[in-house]
Amino acid sequence: MKEFNKIDINKMSKIYRLNLINSITGYKSANLIGTKTNDQINNVAVFSSVIHLGSDPALIGFILRPTTVPRHTYENIHKYGFFTLNQISESQIKSAHQTSAKYSRETSEFSETGLEFEFKNNIDAPFVKDSPIQIGCKYINEYNLKENNTILMIGGIESIYVNKILLMQDGWVRLDKGKIVAINGLDGYSLPKLIERFSYARP
C-alpha cells in the first residue's frame, strides 16, 4: 500500500491534497440545496456534506466553507430561513455539478444549468423538480468549527416528498431504485447498488 505521513501530506500540491483527502473518506451523499435569493432569482448548489443528525426531532446538518468570500446559500438561508435538500439522480449529474461554478448573485443556477424549480406549501425556498427525494427544511442553528473556520448549519425537516417507487412498506427508502447517485471526492459521481439489507442487530 502507498503510505502518506503528515510531512508528505503537508508537502502535497493543493489540488493533489484536496483530491486525496476528499476521496479517502468514502462515498458521500449528493444533494442539491435550493435557496431563495429574491422573488426573481433562485439559487441551487451541489453539496456533498449533508449529514443525518437525528429522527426525533428530525434534523439534518451540512457543512459550509468559510464565509471569507460570498456564500449565497448561507446568506439566503439567513435572509429567508428556509432551504431544500434534493437528492441527485443519474440523469441530473451534469447539471448538478455545473451548479458548483461561481455564478454571480444576480444569476440563477437553475437558468444556467437547465434544472427546473418548483415551490411547495409553506417552504420559502425552491425544490429541484424531478428530484426523486425532496426535503423542505427550516433554519434552526449553526455552529462555527474553529479548527478550520467552517460552519455546521442545522435544519429542521418540515416536509418530505419521496417518489412512491422508492418507499418501502416499513418507511425505508430504497435509493438505488431511483438511480440516486453518490459523490466520490469532489467531482466523481457513482451509482450505488443495494447488496443486502439486514435486520436489527442484537447480541
Quick one: pLDDT band at residue 70, thresholds 50, 70, 90? Answer: confident
Query: Residues 14-33: what's their mean pLDDT?
Result: 96
Confidence of residue 158 (pLDDT cuts 50, 70, 90): very high
Least confident residue range of 64-78, 108-122, 169-183: 64-78
User: Could you tell me if residue 41 is inside a domain?
Assistant: yes
Residue 171 lies in a domain: yes
- Whole-structure pTM value: 0.94
Burial 22-43 (b: 16+ CB within 10 A, else e): bbeeeebbbbbbbbbbeeebbb
Considering the domain boundaries, does residue 2 fall inside one?
no
- pLDDT (average), residues 164-177: 96
Residue 15 included in any domain:
no
201: in domain: no
Whether residue 181 has pLDDT greater than 80: yes
3 found inside a domain: no
Q: What does each C-alpha distance from 31 to 50, 145, 194, 200 come to in angstroms?
A: 7, 22, 19, 28
Amino acid 88: pLDDT:
98
The CATH number of the domain where 139 resides is what? 2.30.110.10
Find the domain containing 146 and state its range: 26-190
The sign of the dihedral angle between the CA atoms of 98, 103, 109, 114 is negative
Q: Is residue 135 part of a domain?
A: yes
Compute the distance between CA of residue 136 and CA of residue 39 in angstroms, rounded to an integer: 18
Domain count, the chain: 1
Mean pLDDT within 81-95: 97
Q: Is residue 198 part of a domain?
A: no
Residues 131, 87: Cα–Cα separation, whole Å = 6
Question: What angle is formed at CA 47 by the lines to CA 178 and CA 16, rounded to 5 degrees?
Answer: 115
